Amino acid sequence: MTIQINGTAHALAEAATVADALAAIDAPAKGVAVAVDGSVVRRADWATTPLREGAVVEVLTAVQGG
């Protein structure tokens, strides 16, 4: 299936989870947070939360600011 990760299309296996999406962009395990279709998915649920076709995944971290 195809999903959007931080605005870029990625092809993932069927039944892919949030954890698979993070692996697809080599995201570090710490210091990041994930929103899927506008809702936060907690770290504890990454491995068990399935993605739907066309899901919009945002992976955020802290950058310089403020």
Partner 1 sequence: MDGLVVGGRKIGSRLITGTGGAANLEVLERALVASGTTLTTVAMRRIDAVTGTGVLDLLRRLGIEVLPNTAGCRTAAEAVLTAELAREALETDLLKLEVVADERTLLPDPIELLDAAEQLVDAGFTVLPYTNDDPVLARRLEAVGCAAVMPLGSPIGTGLGIRNPHNIEMIVADAGVPVVLDAGIGTASEAAQAMELGCDAVLLATAVTRAADPELMAHAMRLAVEAGFAARHAGRIPRRYWAQASSPAAD
Instruction: State which of residues 9, 11, 13, 63 lies at the interface with partner 1 (CB under 8 A).
Output: 63
Closest by CA position to 11, among listed 43, 55, 45, 41 = 55
The residue type of 34 is V
- Count of residues near partner 1 by CB under 8 A: 25
Q: Which of the residues 1 through 60 are near partner 1 (CB under 8 A)?
A: 6-7, 25-28, 30-35, 38, 40, 42-43, 58-60
When the beta carbons of 30 and 53 are compared against partner 1, the nearer one is 30
Q: Are 6 and 25 in contact (CB under 8 A)?
A: yes
Q: How far apart are CA 33 and CA 43, in angstroms?
A: 7
CB of 50 to partner 1, least distance (A): 19
